[in-house]
Structure 1
Amino acid sequence: HLASGSYTVGATVQGTQYSNWKYIKSLHKHLASGSYTVGATVQGTQYTNWKYVKSLHKHLASGNYTVSATVQGTQYTNWKYIKSLHKHLASGATVQSTQYSNWKYVKSLHNHLASGSYTVGATVQGTQYSNWKYVKSPHKHLASGSYTVGATVQRTQYSNWKYVKSPHKHLAS
């Protein structure tokens, strides 16, 4: 989804800017592992931890509460009858203050936003995640030879993580 080569999506992970996630095959695994903090306002109540949100799209599309979203420049405050959130996200939408510019084939948004439980600070699409405890394969993301990514590990600057086989050890520390 975010890994699709059909579009460019910006994201900042570990303070590193990614402008094209063309070859990222498992970003959803990172965004989707169980326990992280994300801000949301439901029925006027602020929630800062959606740890057990198994199907975010169901929540966003539910008539049980109001959630604001901007789709193609139109403001919606109740997504009660949105059956296919990915269609809206594919057209360009801002959900929970997070900008999605082209999620054309996002069939299950909860897979992207809802699983996981590990610790690592990350800002993805403007959303702050503070608990990414079990990042099993960030090296796939950071070590890809398809692009250059800057990162600082133990105060040492690296400009190309092409051959970094296990940056997850660094990121996990």
Structure 2
Amino acid sequence: MTGDGLDLVWTTIARIGTCLMITDIDGAVQVRPMIGKPERAKGVIWFVADRELQNELEARDGMNVMLGYVDSTFNTYVVVTGRASAVEDERASRMVYGQGAANGASSRAPLLIAVEPQGAEFWDNPNADLVVAMQMLTSASGEASGQPVIGETQHVRM
């Protein structure tokens, strides 16, 4: 792992913001679009949700989650694995997200979710369109050899 990889993960998470949060509740995979706010200094990504998610998280405090981020403009993809916990603190929720509700959460009773990342994997290829075009040209001319190079991937411990 390089510091550059870790920096890229946190920077990408902050830039994209919206992810798919994937949970496994008793063998049933649940997927929700969520808006996260990373706080790298504390090693946490904050989410606000409505109370329907509370029972799932309270019953499984520290449950495993996966967060999928996609930035198709830059062809950057990040998958974060970690543990999620419900945080019952409206004041903390307002500190993280301000006075308004986020993620469609009711402003009466938002649920703050803290995800502590344990690891991440990213795929980064800002020139993917150019690379694919060049590979198609060399393949058509018979000059292609070996495996195509489609970008960088790296596993990062968080």
Return the structure number with greater helix share. Answer: 2
Rg larger for: 2
